[in-house]
Every structure is written in structure tokens, then in C-alpha cells.
Structure 1
């Protein structure tokens, strides 16, 4: 590729030689280091490519070998410039285009943000605009360490920021704290509880059920395997008695209860599906509209479809630039508009059974992701005049135990 580019810049020609000793001609070209390529026999003659510099030195070789040369075609930049030497406006436009590209390369035209999940791009870009960091600013004014410092200072849940300037693009990579505010507050409360010996936590039942297995690591168990409990009942107490040698209670010690408690519970399931639904029937006619954007303004070619019709719009947009890191503030796209009509339909028995079964399968999958085991499934599908139902009861084996602050009173133990 580089050799072809250099040949085009220097210029070359295709020639045809005819004579009694073409082999001697080629040997002398090699001896005098004249590059020749693309050699092809054409009857009693040969055609080949030679550089402009090489053609200037072929005179003595042609006379010595008694061969004749004819130039068939000229290639390269020197011939192009000579052919268009009178088109001054064209060359002025080329120089102006190069100058414009150079000027545009001095500014920032794109800001890319990666790694954000809680904070949207709009929120971060609005903050950067407030700090006068936006598309259109000069590249020389970009201070990447300062940008990273400002983002960390403004957003407390951002624990790591990296800002870099890549061509005409500012690339910002951030990492957010995976713990939510509620989890962080809960962790702080747990830490505070652990440090304060006067406070403790109990574990209570979140729903009705039967205890199937209990493993206590910290605290006093108040239930045993096989016990029937109701929502709110005490499962593990964080209040521990302190007794003297006479087995008399002299005080209480409070601690953070920690246990794994598996309970067999029942959960009601119900899913309702309306048997009547609307189906989109698209019309064959489509309308395409070409548009381009510069900043916040949009320009379009052609008119849109009449208002009031039910219509879907699909857009495909491309940012113009020389490379991924050198993007111009111009976007070009095409918009496809399709009209449709809503046709009333009714689900058949096979269709509504399939839909309700798929929904129930997704519900069971979500339960299993949470570590819940399904022991028994009594869900069935019913149908009336207007709706179809999936109803029933699931018997589950799941972890239970909700934390509650220990009460400073007598602990009622279950028999």
C-alpha cells in the first residue's frame, strides 16, 4: 500500500516497447536500477509501468537496443496537477478544506461517558456544562485531572474517575459504588450496633410457615425444627441472660443475632390475561425522510405523514467524522415512517395457555434466582368470558428472618 501511494505521488506511465531485443532492454533497465513492473507481452511488443524518473533515463538504453517506446497512459499526482493547473478555485477549495479540518481539530466535539449506571449521561453532561466543559471548547483548555477531581467531589457515590483526551473526544470512565444508599445506611447501622453493646437485634418471621431447618451462629434460638410460626413471631433473640453462681439473672447482654432459618411457606399466585387484544396491521406504503443535525437544530428533507394516523417511526443516525476520535458536530440520518391499523383479535385456547405458562415459568425462574425452592405447585389455568387466569398456591422452602431491634424486656420463649 505504501509503495502504491509513493508511486502515485511521484507519478508513473504505462509504456509499450517494440524492437529486436526486448530482453536486452529489460536487462539494461535492471542494471541501471530503473524500476519496471506490470510487464505483459502484447503480440510482438511488451507493455509495462515505469516511473517518471525512470522514463527520463531510457533514451540511451533505447538507442543501444534499437527499440522504440510509446507512452500509452499517464498516472499520478504530477499529471493530475498539470491537467488541472488552470482550476485555481478547485485547489483553493482543497486548501480551504484542509485548513477547516485543522481548525476543527483544535476543538472538542464529543464527550463519551462509560461505566455509569445510577447517574445518567444527561445528569453528568449537565454538570460538566455548568463547569464550562462542553462540546466546542478548545482542546488546549481541557484539564483531565481537574475534570476527574470535580466529578468525584460532586457525586459521592462515584468512587473512581478517569478522564482522557482522545483526538477531539473527551472520554470519561467512572465507577460507582455498588451499594445503594439504603444498604449503606443499613451497614452503618449494623456497624454502630456492633460497637454499642447496649443495643442488639432479633430475627422475626416475615410470613407464616413451618420451620424446617435452623442454624444459629449468634443469638438465642426461640423456635425449633417443625414449629409453626406466624408473621412477626420471634425466631432468634439477641438478648442473652447474665447469671451469677446461684443461677440468678443479674443483667442482660445484647448482641447482633445471626442465623440461617429455612421455612416452608405458601404463596398465592394469580395472573390475569385479557382475551381481547389489538394487533398492528402495517400498510405497505412507507415514507423515508433524510435529516441532519447540527447542535440542537434539526433540518429535514421532505414532509412527514399526516397527523392523526397511527404510525411507527424508526431512525438510523450516523455521526460524521474522520475517525472515532475526530467527530464533527454534524449527524446525518434517515427516518422511516410506517402507518398501521389496530385490528381487534381474541386469543385462542392454545395461545392464552402458552402466554400464561411462559409468564409463570418466568415467575418460577425469578424465585429460584433468589434461592427459593419450589416444593409443590398447585397453579392451574382458568377461563371465563373476558379473561384467562392462572391461579393457585405454591409451597416454597425459603430463607426467612427479618432483623428487629431487641426490646429491653423479658423474652418470651416458645414452647
Structure 2
């Protein structure tokens, strides 16, 4: 017969039956409607499994067939509860420990504020307390993070955004303060000079006297817009303002491999959970090997905290993620275009996104040792002006 459902919860025993009519005993048991399973020969008799509820119904059948039985195994929840009851003080202590750990991990132990510079942390914490976010508060009593964020943003003047993040028993309130107009610093008189060798392509003087014009070749340090107005007898010094663009040449040595190897996650993972007590970690779940050829392990700690102190008690989770490696091969032309694109992105990052790449010229190109090597000259229109304070009042 098949094992009945919920046999582990109902409890069952393993019996060894011996005697002159073992086969007759088994037939009598099945004839009486008693469920038995896993029947197999054992010594001079047979071994079988039987539900605990049907155990006492075997006595008349044993007497009738002249057989004897011996209990060789006890399985299921009733027997486990009986063993725990014999050790009730240990069981009670384990239960209380589990309940205490559950209660401690269900309470907020610390609240901290990050991102504020002008607004006091105490003001933000007080507003959070009014919304129910404070130490020793039950986590399940907190509102949804989005709702709390909106309430705190409206409660504290000067905040443009508030985000709440809960990590274990700690809550971090991340804030972004609203922009305030900055006091403009008092500027001393200055020139605008060229920061590099270039050919001027565009010049606009908002304040000051332009010294160069379009298509003028300038060197690094040459004055573009002067902060000195007037002549040698009557000179007024001002803060030169304006915008000057010029054509600048940048030379790049580019190196791009033709083969690249990258890793990615397959989506398969195996978790291992540990109870952490001080420097000790006791594994609770996730036994066994993952069977992954390549993997990466990410560790997360969820430790209990008391105010600003971190307690040496908590949970640790190890996530083993399966990796797969793929190798891609590029054509030389594709590698060449990738290298040029990377160089252009670097130019825009260094000299401003409003820079314009006018032209490019490959000075040298070769393929060697699985890589493409190039030397490329770029002609770029970019801002070339920088400030130079006027240190004396008698000249430029």
C-alpha cells in the first residue's frame, strides 16, 4: 500500500513481526482495513509501517495468528513532541529565545539622518517621531515608506526630497535639501586668458576688452579678454566676463582588444542562512553544495542594534549566484570604431559636453597581439578661457 497522507503529522511506527503465520497476520491486517506500507522481509518475519492510531488494533490479530511484534522505530510529530516534553525546560528556553529574537528583530532600534547640511538632524528626527518613526517602535506599526516620505517632506521646511530605508532594525532617513540662492562672492579684477594653444573660433566679451579676434592663433597664457580698460594714464580694472571658443588639437593613443570575456548571472542561486553570535556563525538552512562551476558569493548581515551600538547577535545570509562567462570576438573595423568612440567620450567628459569634434585623422594604425593600436588626432572646438587675477594696478 501507499503511505497515507500526513503520516508524519499523525505519527507512525515501524514494526518487526515474527511467528508461524506472518503472512496470515498481514492478510488479517489488510482485511481489517488497517493501512500498512513498506512491507518487506526481515529475518524470519517481516517489517512494516503502521499509523500510530491503528497500533492497538493489532493485539487481537496477533493473538489470533500467534505472531509477535517488536517496535523498531517511532516516527512523526507525536513522538517528537513527547521527546521535547521530557526536556521541557530546554524546550521552553529555546522557545523563549526564539520569541525574544523575533520580538527584538521586530522593533526599531536606531534612526539616523543622512544628507543634511543646513537643517539640523534633531529637527528631522523630531518630525519623524511625530509620524511614528522613533527607537523602540514596532516595525509593523510603521506606515508605508512612500507615505512617510511625503509627510516628512511637508513637515520640515527646506527639504525637497526624503527617502526612508530600513535595514534590519535600523532606519536611515536620507534627505535632499532644497536649493537656496548662494551669495555671490565679490570678485577681484581679472583677465580671461587661454588655457591652451588654439585658434580662436568664437569670442564674446560681456565685460572687459577683447584682445583677440576670430581666426587668431593664441598660445597658452595669452590674454583673450582684458580686465584693464582705458589708457596708461586713466586705467580702470574690471572683472572680465565672456566666452571664448577655439580649435584645439588632441592626440590619442588608442588600444582595443579583439577578444573580450564578460561574466553574467544565470539567475540560479543558493542561499545559506546563519545565526551570528559574536564571532561565531551557526548555519540554520541551506546545507549542501550548490553544484555551480563558477559562482560569486554575496554576504548580507542583519545585526541587532541598541541605539548607536551594534549588538553581537543577528542573522547572516550568504547568496551564492551562478556565473557564466562568454567570450566575444570583434572585427578589426568594429574595434577601431569602439576605440574612436571611447576617445570622443573622453574628450566630451574632459572639456565639456558643448565641445564639438570638427574632424579626426588616424596618424598610425596596426593590429598586433590580438589588439588594434591607433594614434588619432582630433580637432575640437571647445571653451579655452580661464581666469587670471590682476595682481598689479599698473598693467596687464
Structure 1-normalised TM-score?
0.46
Structure 2-normalised TM-score?
0.47
